[in-house]
A = this chain, B = another copy of it.
Amino acid sequence: MSDVWLNSLITATPQEGFELAITLSRRGVKYTQPDTAVLKELRPEYAHSADALTAASHVIAVNFQTVAAANNYWRG
């Protein structure tokens, strides 16, 4: 994966920061399984499992800690 997809952790708003945390979480998956066809196949099962959705939200929360700290919590 030689493309550039992450230039900065700084975002204008906390919501954009949260969305960046989602991107980071997905990239963590994609680096491990780069084949998007496989990822697409896994999706239906995944998106219908409460446990899997909670686990996804957990990873987002961890990445959001990083992005929020980077932005000094958008304190103003």
A interface list, Cβ under 8 A from B: 4-10, 13-15, 18-19, 22, 24-29, 31-33, 35, 38, 42-43, 45-66, 68-70, 73-75
Known: A53-B42, A73-B9. A63 touches B63 (CB 8 A): no
Copies of this chain: 6
In the bound assembly, the distance between CA atoms of A40 and B47 in angstroms comes to 13
A63 to B65, CA, bound (A): 7
Given A9-B74, A32-B47, A54-B56, 12 other A-B contacts at CB below 8 A? Answer: A7-B14, A19-B31, A28-B57, A29-B53, A31-B60, A32-B56, A46-B50, A51-B52, A51-B55, A52-B54, A59-B61, A62-B65
